[in-house]
Chains A and B, each alone.
Chain A
């Protein structure tokens, strides 16, 4: 049996960006952003003796007169319309508590959940008692943010049939700042798997379902065994995501696809090795730049 032995070596820093017209202004907590008092201070900053100082580690964003610092590693801050993937932690009286990697647990009200069959009716006492049959502790769901409470807690809804309980697949947890905001977060990748890029940093990879079942409304989890080829595609995608995250690349469907194609020449488990990660991500970056310019 062959055994691999690896020795630690100082890693080469990759050239930061192959094209970057505007260099990002990176700050750490305590750094002075500007001494000009004409700016309004946004999130991630505070005023300290006539200077604007950063309170989080991240990049400075400026919109006209508003300066804010967007942190690199944060908890998820909900905004209306975001797609999130969350895990049920509690079943309470008329709602579920969902864990979405934010500062407070998110809330999924029973009235915001679409009943099986897609019918619209008033939620009765029987529905309340049957809550645990729909979703129990530990289940994964995909949902959309309906509202944000004043303390920052997020209220979710699964009113469309594309949201609901998730079946078999792989969950990858990344920092929310790495998920690019796009028109749609549900992608069917041509390589043979589907992916949900949750804005809260939870990424769900699952085998593409053959037909869309419209009547069910996302409650019955498909528990048929997944064929090996699908499982390999899903594992490869998961490792690609880990590689992209390690190199701090933004995650969206194109970058994921390019990374997948770049990784096809390696074995799935080799993608996790640092040098192969660098190689694959370099190639992905090249292709993305070519595609843009």
Chain B
């Protein structure tokens, strides 16, 4: 199936987000996605998950006759396959370009770097050598196949155990797994590929691009390095022109990332070794968690809300009074003063919030703030008038007696009961704290 084309607005959105240093999944520019390594029951079988990209690696071995010009070396064979379940665009005949590129890169990274000691794979010089075959299958494509594949390959090789062989004169004895413990391969170092995606002709750079970012990128730089900071392979594709300091910077970043990933791999390998030694359960069934979300039926359950009102009132009554912001009273004329602002809400630009029409939360706060405004305005109006305000007999009110020159005591306005009941109790407390206080004044 042909890939559905990316719409223009999505492409523009991704590029703009990258210009503002934002990635869709919230990562930073140099962040990797979560790497999960799990092992199967056989030696040499592993699944590596880099975010949602999954690669399955399997190593197998066979005794064959060596190549004529390399009579004392074993044979390594790498094969990466893009399975049709990885992405709808992968079809048996269609993915040739990408496939060739990935395979070549993997071979250069693992074979040419001589990370595996091929001399140790020789059994009888010129006659029998081990052929190690690494098969990688891409199970899900969410970007950055090469990184996941290289990690899977090296982890599978480190995990693999080949049958033990002994040579006595002309006789070669191949021991079965039950007779003698299988022997690990001799691996010198672990090269790991790190990908850098470039955007806008090399201006912006991202590490570990995911599938969307790969679609809009201009070029890709892959650096294969090991933890001793030796570069095994470096490849730049896409035709972007990179400056020298950009490449050097990328190699420094790659060094840091490779150290982290190598540590993770060591930990995973040791974990697995320990579990196997202790006789615990190992294999895919144990390590890959069940990620299915099962739908369930839920009958309607009546919820009793009769005591919510009382509870809310309790909580409000027991709550501490809001922290008093001591503001100086503004003396308008002798006998008229104002404490607090009470005229205009300074809660930020309401016009912009109304524009967005986003979540309900925004609407709710807008309504509340508007209500607050009008309420405050009413009281403010009252204050600027000279009419005396009737004091209620409620115990919640504190009375202020204002005489010119004296410090007024603080007051609280009794809020509308209806508002408190509607909102949750927590919200009510916050509202009270935020409310602007306007004083009730007794005039003399």
Contact with B along A1-36 (1 / 0, CB 8 A): 111100111100000000000000000000000000
Across the interface, name the chain B residue whose C-beta is closest to A88.
B5
Closest 5 CB pairs of A and B: A2-B361, A138-B8, A1-B361, A10-B297, A89-B5
Question: Which of B225-233, B352-360, B369-377 binds A?
Answer: B352-360
Partner of A138, one of B6, B361, B364: B6
Q: Is the CB of A8 within 8 A of B2?
A: no
Q: Is the CB of B2 within 8 A of A87?
A: no
Please, which residues of chain A bring their CB within 8 A of the CB of B7?
Answer: 87, 138, 171
Does B296 lie at the interface of the complex (its beta carbon under 8 Å from any beta carbon of A)? yes
Please, which residues of chain B bring their CB within 8 A of the CB of A99?
Answer: 2, 4-5
- What's the least CB distance linking A78 to chain B, in Å? 17
A232 to B297, CA, bound (A): 36
Please, which residues of chain B bring their CB within 8 A of the CB of A7?
Answer: 298
Q: Is the CB of A2 within 8 A of B364?
A: yes
Contact with A along B343-359 (1 / 0, CB 8 A): 00000000000010111
A211 to B103, CA, bound (A): 57
Contact residues on B (Cβ < 8 Å of other chain), bracket: 20 to 34
Please, which residues of chain B bring their CB within 8 A of the CB of A139?
Answer: 8
A101 to B351, CA, bound (A): 42
For A3, A10, A138, A267, the residue with the greatest tally of chain B CB atoms inside 10 Å of its CB is: A138
- What's the least CB distance linking A269 to chain B, in Å? 7
Does A105 lie at the interface of the complex (its beta carbon under 8 Å from any beta carbon of B)? yes
Please, which residues of chain A bring their CB within 8 A of the CB of B300?
Answer: 9
Count of CB-CB pairs between chains A and B under 8 Å: 44
Does A279 lie at the interface of the complex (its beta carbon under 8 Å from any beta carbon of B)? no
28 contacts between A and B (CB under 8 A): A1-B365, A2-B360, A2-B364, A2-B427, A8-B295, A8-B296, A8-B298, A9-B297, A10-B295, A10-B298, A87-B5, A87-B7, A89-B5, A99-B4, A99-B5, A105-B2, A137-B5, A138-B6, A138-B11, A171-B7, A232-B357, A267-B357, A267-B360, A267-B363, A268-B357, A269-B358, A269-B359, A270-B360
A1 to B358, CA, bound (A): 12
- Looking at chain A's contact residues, is the secondary structure mostly helix, strand, loop, or mixed? loop
- What's the least CB distance linking A168 to chain B, in Å? 10
Number of A interface residues in the complex (CB < 8 A): 22
Across the interface, name the chain B residue whose C-beta is closest to A99.
B5
Please, which residues of chain A bring their CB within 8 A of the CB of B297?
Answer: 9-10
Does A63 lie at the interface of the complex (its beta carbon under 8 Å from any beta carbon of B)? no
Does A125 lie at the interface of the complex (its beta carbon under 8 Å from any beta carbon of B)? no
Contact with A along B1-29 (1 / 0, CB 8 A): 01011111001000000000000000000
Does A228 lie at the interface of the complex (its beta carbon under 8 Å from any beta carbon of B)? yes
B positions within 8 Å CB-CB of A: 2, 4-8, 11, 295-298, 300, 355, 357-361, 363-365, 427
- What's the least CB distance linking A52 to chain B, in Å? 30
Q: Is the CB of B5 within 8 A of A138?
A: yes
Please, which residues of chain B bring their CB within 8 A of the CB of A8?
Answer: 295-296, 298
For B11, B357, B363, the residue with the greatest tally of chain A CB atoms inside 10 Å of its CB is: B357
- What's the least CB distance linking A68 to chain B, in Å? 25
- What's the least CB distance linking A185 to chain B, in Å? 21
- What's the least CB distance linking B69 to chain A, in Å? 47
Across the interface, name the chain B residue whose C-beta is closest to A136.
B8
Q: Is the CB of B361 within 8 A of A3?
A: yes
Known: A9-B298, A138-B6, A171-B7. 8 other contacts (CB 8 A): A8-B298, A10-B298, A89-B2, A99-B4, A139-B8, A267-B357, A267-B363, A269-B359
Please, which residues of chain B bring their CB within 8 A of the CB of A137?
Answer: 5
A138 to B4, CA, bound (A): 11
A102 to B295, CA, bound (A): 33
Interface residue ranges of A76-113 to B (CB < 8 Å): 87, 89, 99, 105
- What's the least CB distance linking B368 to chain A, in Å? 10
Across the interface, name the chain B residue whose C-beta is closest to A173.
B4
A87 to B298, CA, bound (A): 43
For B8, B11, B365, the residue with the greatest tally of chain A CB atoms inside 10 Å of its CB is: B8
A182 to B361, CA, bound (A): 42
Please, which residues of chain A bring their CB within 8 A of the CB of B358?
Answer: 269
Interface residue ranges of A217-266 to B (CB < 8 Å): 228, 232
A137 to B11, CA, bound (A): 12
A189 to B153, CA, bound (A): 59
Please, which residues of chain A bring their CB within 8 A of the CB of B11?
Answer: 138
- What's the least CB distance linking B32 to chain A, in Å? 30
Contact with B along A139-155 (1 / 0, CB 8 A): 10000000000000000
Please, which residues of chain A bring their CB within 8 A of the CB of B6?
Answer: 138
Please, which residues of chain A bring their CB within 8 A of the CB of B355?
Answer: 228
- What's the least CB distance linking B184 to chain A, in Å? 48
Q: Is the CB of A4 within 8 A of B360?
A: yes
A135 to B381, CA, bound (A): 63
- What's the least CB distance linking B221 to chain A, in Å? 25
A228 to B6, CA, bound (A): 26
Across the interface, name the chain B residue whose C-beta is closest to A105.
B2
A3 to B364, CA, bound (A): 11
Across the interface, name the chain A residue whose C-beta is closest to B356.
A228
A267 to B358, CA, bound (A): 10
A2 to B367, CA, bound (A): 13
